[in-house]
Amino acid sequence: MTLAACGCPLPYNSARNCEDTHKKIYSERLQATNTSGLSIHAIRANYIMHAENSLIGQQLKTLAQVNAFHVYDLVEPLQFALTKAIGELSALLWFPEIRNLDEYLADVKTAAANVLDIAVLIDPSKVILKIKYHLLAHLREDIVRFGPLLGVATETFECFNAIFRFCSILSNHLAPSRNIALQLAEQEVLRHFLSGGGWRGSTGVEWKEPAPAVASFLGKNPFFVALLGYGRHAQPQASGNIKLEPLKRSKNRTKIARVALTLGDTLAAQAVNTPEMMQNPEVRWYQGKHVVSHAQDKCATEPPITGKILEILQDEDTAMAFVVFDVFQVSAVRHKYFGMPVLSRRLDKPTLLVIPATTIMFEYDTQHDCLQARCIASGKQAVLQERVQTELREAESFIQHNPFDRFLINTHAFHNAHPIPQEVDNP
């Protein structure tokens, strides 16, 4: 509940009191959000605007991460300040690990105080009446006691309500609470046995274990692993691991062999530091779809990540793997309105570097500086229904970003929120 409190005021401050024209602009901006590096589902801006009064936690968390980029000129200055304060606090509370406890506690205390101070200026009654605001005053004590609050968030357990309902439906309805408790206890006993747990024998002295066939049942039946709520934990991939572009198919659905490229056919030939091992004319290269970073992020060739990945290359023998990087630099001064680090090109010119695929640390979200670039909804596109273009409705407008190579590091993003401050402050 403490974490959800950070997102609750957002849709109301940004949409409820706006005019229809502002809502349309907000919807277009929200749909144009760069979601790479956010670890969120696809944004459905029209649905969010239509159901603004009944959003769920998943949608509120999305808004908390990106709202500041879309409402800067659509709401009052105090509401924009509250949006930024909530985004900063939400990202802090989403840290999965704390590296410097004293510094982290000071940051959380300041961020929570900023939210409460601005909320009081907007509507003092809500701070008094809503318990969620009061919980923000106790964040420091909760973190000292429980550690990162992400580990004690209870929102995910709300999906267990369906289990309670099914247990009640499949009962005699005479004592629902008792029947639900007994069924849940039986389920937990089954989970205990299948996971290899033991139990005390009838004598009360010896301990018994399930038979080997029972203990190995889950390993042979992954469907039941997910059914019992254990989840599937994929093995971590080695950093620098590359997934090649999928094979294309011809009209008769036969697979077409990958095209092997020479160095001159790749962007690596334009780099200022092409490695000597890549300059062998006999080596052929395949283009990759994504590369795995140290943080297990699958970095593709789209978002700028203190450099924009332009091309991923792997040789035919899978002995070498490189990434062609379009280098950006972090400005010394943060953005005037958003207060976030700014990425720009060196001397406003592209600088390509070739780096080993194993050196990529992690991926994070960036957003185009549409405020300075003055991006507007100048494009038109057909409306999709069931993934098919239709002419039954008027073409909808969308944001076309102007050619202005300046981006903002989204410090409100939850994904990889903990390493970003350290890397930005100590590049």
For 13-48, write each residue's pLDDT tens digit.
Answer: 444 455 778 888 998 899 999 888 888 888 888 888
Tell me the percentage of the chain whose pLDDT exceeds 70. 91
pLDDT at residue 8, as a whole number: 44
**Average of per-residue pLDDT values in the chain:** 82
pLDDT at residue 10, as a whole number: 43
Lowest mean pLDDT among 243-257, 360-374, 387-401: 387-401
Which has the higher per-residue pLDDT, 370 or 297?
Answer: 370
pLDDT at residue 12, as a whole number: 44
pLDDT at residue 231, as a whole number: 59
pLDDT above 90: residue 110: yes
- pLDDT grade, residue 11 (50/70/90)? very low
Cβ pair 255, 247 in contact under 8 A: yes
pLDDT at residue 179, as a whole number: 83
Out of 169-183, 306-320, 335-349, 372-386, the most confident range is 335-349
pLDDT at residue 332, as a whole number: 84
pLDDT at residue 362, as a whole number: 85
Q: Name the DSSP letter for residue 15.
A: I
What's the average model confidence in pLDDT over 347-365? 84
Burial of residue 178 (number of CB atoms within 10 Å: 0-12, 13-18, 19+): exposed
pLDDT above 80: residue 153: no
How much is the CA Rg of the chain, to the nearest whole Å?
26
Q: For residue 325, what are its two tokens?
A: 């990087």
Cβ pair 391, 57 in contact under 8 A: no
pLDDT above 50: residue 391: yes
- pLDDT grade, residue 111 (50/70/90)? very high
Q: For residue 415, what are its two tokens?
A: 């994904």
Close Cβ partners of 12 (under 8 Å, ≥ 6 residues apart): 52
What's the average model confidence in pLDDT over 54-67? 87
pLDDT above 70: residue 202: yes
- Determine the 3-state secondary structure of 285 from DSSP: strand
What's the average model confidence in pLDDT over 143-152? 87
Question: Three-state SS string across 184-218, please?
Answer: HHHHHHHHHHHCCCCEECCCCCCEECCCHHHHCHH
Instruction: Find, among 57, 173, 69, the residue nearest to 413 by Cα.
Output: 69
- How far apart CA 174 and CA 156 sit, in angstroms, is 30
pLDDT above 80: residue 261: yes
Tell me the percentage of the chain whose pLDDT exceeds 90. 19
- How far apart CA 210 and CA 397 sit, in angstroms, is 62
- pLDDT grade, residue 348 (50/70/90)? confident
Pairing state between β 342-345 and 321-330 = antiparallel
Q: Name the DSSP letter for residue 13.
A: I
Model confidence, pTM = 0.75
Cα–Cα–Cα angle for 302, 23, 70, nearest 5°?
35
pLDDT at residue 15, as a whole number: 45
What's the average model confidence in pLDDT over 143-158? 82
pLDDT above 50: residue 189: yes
- pLDDT grade, residue 5 (50/70/90)? very low
Q: In 10 A of CB 282, how many CB atoms?
A: 5
The backbone torsions φ and ψ at residue 169, rounded to the nearest 5 degrees and listed phi first, read: -65, -40
- Packing angle between helix 101-122 and helix 139-146, nearest 10 degrees? 150
pLDDT at residue 219, as a whole number: 78
Q: For residue 8, what are its two tokens?
A: 């609750």
Which has the higher per-residue pLDDT, 386 or 410?
Answer: 410
- Give the position of tokens 């680090």: 341
Q: What DSSP element (H or E) covers 63? A: helix 57-66
- pLDDT grade, residue 385 (50/70/90)? confident
Lowest mean pLDDT among 34-43, 158-167, 176-185, 366-375: 158-167
Which has the higher per-residue pLDDT, 425 or 377?
Answer: 377
